[in-house]
A and B are shown apart, each in its own frame.
Chain A
Amino acid sequence: MSLVRPAPRGRPDHQTRPPRNPLLLPLALILGGMLMGFLPGSVTSASGQVETEAGGQVETETGGQVETEAGRRAEGAAGDAVPQTAPPPPEIEARDTPSDRGENITVTWTPPPEDTGVGGPVFGYRIERGLSPEGPFEHIGQASPGATRYDDTNVADGLPYYYRVITLTASAEGTSGIGGPAIAAPQWINTNQWNVFIVLALLLGFNLYFIEHIKAGGKPFIRKIAGLEAINEAVGRATEMGRPILFVPGIQDMNDIQTVAGVTILSYIARTVAEYDSRLVVPTSRALVMTTARETVKEAFLAAGRPESYDESSIYYITDEQFGYVAGVNGYMVREKPATCFYMGAFFAESLILAETGNSIGAIQVAGTAMPAQLPFFVAACDYTLIGEELFAASAYLSGEPKQLGSIKGQDVGKFIGMLSVAVGVLVLSIAMITGWDPLVRVAEWIRIFWSTELA
């Protein structure tokens, strides 16, 4: 359900852009100086796409063409030698696409009055590009009737480009004036994400505040996480039974946050294992995870005062192949029968296979993952499961470090703000929908715009 204003006559509702909110301009001016750090690399641009006033999109030739009826008709018309009697677009402009990573130029034009959209006399537009205003011009793409914009994503930074747009009708063509020169360049600041900057600054500010607060002697309260309470019990059980402890750090590499969280928990488990003088086995499916796990466990054994008990060969690489790894770990499970199995990290289809095998050998199992599709399997087959963010909170809880504990507190404030925003936003939206009162509709719209991840 959209909150856009009623459309002008003659155009469907979805043709109009949302109205510019009067609050945006002063807010943007105040925050203008604060906008920084959002590299254009994070911009998700609709590469090679044409926005039409009718809301439709047509991909360009360079980005993989989508044939449309209008496009085919336009192409057919373009193929014939026809006199230039069709009305050209009266205005054309070519400029570097703002807030992007470069290599992109936006061409905009004013459609002639004869362009009444799909089904009208204008079949579409052909966009041509040249390196000088005199030409030659090459055909780089086409747009549907009603289109006013074309993104050329096949350009080099630093070179001047010139464009012209040709109106296509059944029997004629009309060539616009020359637009340009336009020079593509990357921008350092993505002004389309100022709201992300505000939210990020707010959350990081809370994190820093609580970190300093805890460093200064503040006592944070962190609720108990059941799965973590079981770690000591699980390690103790393995020690009593004289069997090893298996730790599976998922099947993703170190560039996955879940693996990082899993390795942090491994540090605590390794320390407990060292204190109990038990045996820890960590098979990995990535070489980097193996390296990191070895470093982590080695330091944990050192911290526990038992460096001589550290066995590097018990942390080993199996294979990157998902089910090859599972076959290897399962084989180890049924042969060595570890008394305790930990699964902490990112898991996919192997989650249930691992957890069921662990269950079949009678191991006590503690799992933790933020993969929503795999959580049901762990919940069903394991004794304890760290659900989603509990996995990330667990490392902070275990370490007791001010930095991590402060982050947990800061994130909780972020969640509170999120819940408050939802409550207020839903309330305002509902009242706006019931009353249709214009100022309230505008406020509701602004709230939704603020939480959008990419502002236009």
Chain B
Amino acid sequence: MKRIMWLGILAIILLVLALRTAQGHMLNPFDSFHGFGTWFAALLTLAIMSFLYNDNPVYRFAEHLFVGVSAAYWMVMGFWSTLVPNLFGKLWPSLTAKLFIPGIADQPRDPLWFLYFIPLVFGILLLLRLAPKGGYLSRWALALILGTTAGLRLIAFLTADFMGQIRATLNSVAGYVHPSLPGGTGVFSFEQMFWDVVSVIAIMAALSYFYFSKEHKGNFGRFSRVGIWVLMITFGAGFGYTVMGRIALLVGRVEFLLVDWLHVL
């Protein structure tokens, strides 16, 4: 019964769509490639959205199509935007220009071009996983990737997440600037002082929550609990902010369906 009901609803929708198309209110999918593309995109959008009801064959079709097409797309992108210009183009520019990108022949060759044999060798080592023997060699490439990543990111994290945060927190909480100092008015602002104090306490409390080598008991435990409150308030604000962004995405998709496809707006 339920299935018949859904099929009936689907038939009515299709009928309405067919009538609107026949009357010229909507793009005809068989008239032009643009029309076909719009219909295809709209139906795929609805197919993905059908997941909100339940898993179904239509969703499954859209899912597999999406996964297959995107995986192939990224593979092609990886080849053309990374391997060809950054590896083959550096090592064998004339051959690459002949086979893939003619424009690359005009560029001067990197004086350290031979260093690109290192990523080539490690790339081949990664592929050795597929070989029946010597698969362990792929670990060397992985070790290099993990090690260099950790080393390279260390300074970036230290400066941005540690020193940068401390520097940003170093502000006066007096709410007052002496007239002899630049920008000093000599006027006390309670509001300024209040928010500066709140800011410093909130940061210190949140930081204390991430202190792992001391049990969160007593005064320290109470202080770190304030830190949890700070985190949760921040998350709440972040939740609302991001949801608004997501609604904007949804509006964009609904707009596509109503304007570009159905032409009802």
Contact = CB atoms under 8 A, between A and B. Distances in A.
A320 B79 CA distance: 14
Given A376-B242, A426-B171, A433-B172, A328 B55 contact: no
A255 B149 contact: yes
B66 A324 contact: yes
A247 to B, nearest CB: 18
Interface string B200-242: 1001100110111111100000000000000110111011001
A436 B180 contact: yes
A205 to B, nearest CB: 14
Nearest to A380: B239
A451 B166 contact: yes
Binding site secondary structure of chain B: helix
Interface in B48-81: 48, 51, 54-55, 59-60, 62-63, 66-67, 69-71, 73-74, 78
Interface string A286-326: 00100110010000000000000000000001111101110
Contacts of B69: 324
Contacts of B74: 319-321
Interface stretch (B9-17, B24-32, B34-42, B151-159): B151-159
A295 B145 CA distance: 14
Nearest to B55: A334
B197 to A, nearest CB: 9
A327 B158 contact: no
B138 A196 contact: no
Contacts of A321: 66-67, 70-71, 73-74
Contact of B238 (A196, A372, A418): A372
Interface residues of B, number: 74
Contacts of A13: 182-183
Interface in A419-456: 419, 421-423, 425-426, 429-436, 441, 447-448, 451-453
A327 B178 contact: no
Closest A-B pairs by Cβ, 9 of them:
A436-B178, A321-B70, A324-B70, A376-B239, A320-B74, A376-B235, A319-B71, A451-B167, A453-B159
A448 B167 CA distance: 6
A151 to B, nearest CB: 22
B181 A388 contact: no
B177 A433 contact: yes
Most chain B C-beta atoms within 10 Å of own C-beta, residue among A317, A390, A453: A453
B158 A203 contact: yes
A418 B163 CA distance: 8
Given A13-B182, A334-B51, 4 more contacts: A225-B212, A295-B139, A321-B66, A379-B235
B164 interface: yes
A426 B200 contact: yes
24 contacts: A3-B181, A5-B182, A6-B180, A6-B181, A13-B182, A200-B158, A220-B213, A221-B214, A256-B149, A291-B138, A292-B146, A295-B139, A319-B71, A327-B48, A352-B246, A393-B210, A412-B213, A416-B211, A425-B166, A426-B169, A434-B174, A436-B184, A453-B163, A453-B167
A330 B51 contact: yes
